[in-house]
């Protein structure tokens, strides 16, 4: 089930009363375990919260735990995608020994000799999506008037 397992008082629950963490220190009473399920509905683990006093979690606390569980799953899936990308990149560079990129426009040359934007090149070889922005150094170098206007505006606030 994808429902959380909530034990209000572990000392009164047959499944937990003989557990050393319930009988002895830290004397767990409340146990609430929220499943970590990936996008394929596979159980990856449980995000748990414990307390030393018996009590009920309110709707807000349950909502926060469910949101945290989703964040943990998102982080783990992102980490897996990052590892896969690195492995693909390493396999690619192992086979080709290098990726040809333009020093000026940052396009990459594919195995057919076609130039394409690095984002597109990497997107075709991974599950990554890209967002774009301008780093501070590039704003300063290429758009000093924007930086000046922004700093002037910030000074007025």
What does the pLDDT look like over 6-40, one tens digit per residue? Answer: 999 999 999 999 999 999 999 999 999 999 998 88
Phi/psi of residue 97, nearest 5 degrees: 70, -15
**Looking at 26-35, 68-77, 78-87, 102-111, which range is the least confident one?**
102-111
- Residue 151: give its domain's CATH number: 3.30.450
Residue-wise pLDDT for 112-149, tens only, equals: 888 888 778 777 777 777 776 777 777 787 777 777 76
Question: Which domain does 108 fall in, by range?
Answer: 5-156
Q: How many domains does the chain have?
A: 1
Q: What pTM was estimated for this model as a whole? A: 0.56
- The reported pLDDT for the residue numbered 84 is 80
| Distance, CA of 130 to CA of 151 (rounded, Å) | 28
């Amino acid at each position: 089930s994808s429902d959380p397992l909530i034990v209000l008082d572990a000392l009164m629950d047959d499944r937990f009363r003989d557990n050393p963490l319930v009988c002895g220190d830290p004397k767990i009473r409340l146990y609430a375990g929220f499943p970590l399920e990936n996008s394929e509905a596979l159980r990856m683990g449980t995000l748990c919260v414990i307390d030393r006093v018996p009590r009920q979690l309110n709707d807000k606390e349950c909502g926060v735990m469910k949101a945290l569980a989703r964040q943990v799953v998102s982080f783990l899936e992102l980490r897996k995608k990052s590892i896969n990308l690195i492995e693909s990149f390493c396999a690619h560079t192992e086979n080709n020994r290098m990726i040809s990129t333009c020093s000026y426009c940052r396009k990459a040359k594919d195995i057919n000799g076609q130039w394409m934007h690095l984002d597109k090149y990497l997107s075709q070889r991974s599950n990554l999506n890209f967002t774009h922005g301008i780093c501070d150094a590039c704003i300063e170098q290429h758009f000093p008037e924007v930086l000046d206007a922004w700093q002037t505006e910030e000074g007025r606030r």
